[in-house]
């Protein structure tokens, strides 16, 4: 599990879910994260209900 989900982690076709409210989000297009200067750059991450989204299995 990724502690802080960022655009580097999300791949086309994957579905992420909030375990609190149940919303599901599907990645339709992978982002170009070169603008962030690499994986270790500061990024707020993707959250819902104050918790990180998780990859739906």
Residue 40 CA to residue 33 CA, distance in Å, equals: 11
Which homologous superfamily does the CATH classification assign to the domain defined by 1-30+45-57?
Desulphoferrodoxin, N-terminal domain (2.20.28.100)
| Res. 1: pLDDT tops 70 | no
> How high is the pLDDT of residue 45?
82
Q: Which residues contact 33 (CB under 8 A, 6 or more apart)?
A: 6, 7, 8
Residue 2 CA to residue 54 CA, distance in Å, equals: 8
Given pLDDT bands bounded at 50, 70 and 90, which one contains residue 14? Answer: very high
Q: What is the mean pLDDT of the chain?
A: 83
Report the pLDDT averaged over residues 4-14. 89
Residues paired with 51 in a beta bridge: 48
Per-residue pLDDT reduced to its tens digit, 32-45: 766 655 555 566 78
């Amino acid at each position: 599990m990724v502690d802080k989900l960022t655009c580097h982690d999300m791949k086309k076709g994957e579905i992420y879910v909030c375990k609190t409210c149940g919303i599901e989000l599907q990645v339709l297009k992978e982002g170009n994260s070169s603008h962030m200067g690499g994986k270790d750059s500061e990024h707020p991450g993707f959250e819902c209900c104050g918790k990180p989204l998780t990859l739906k299995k």
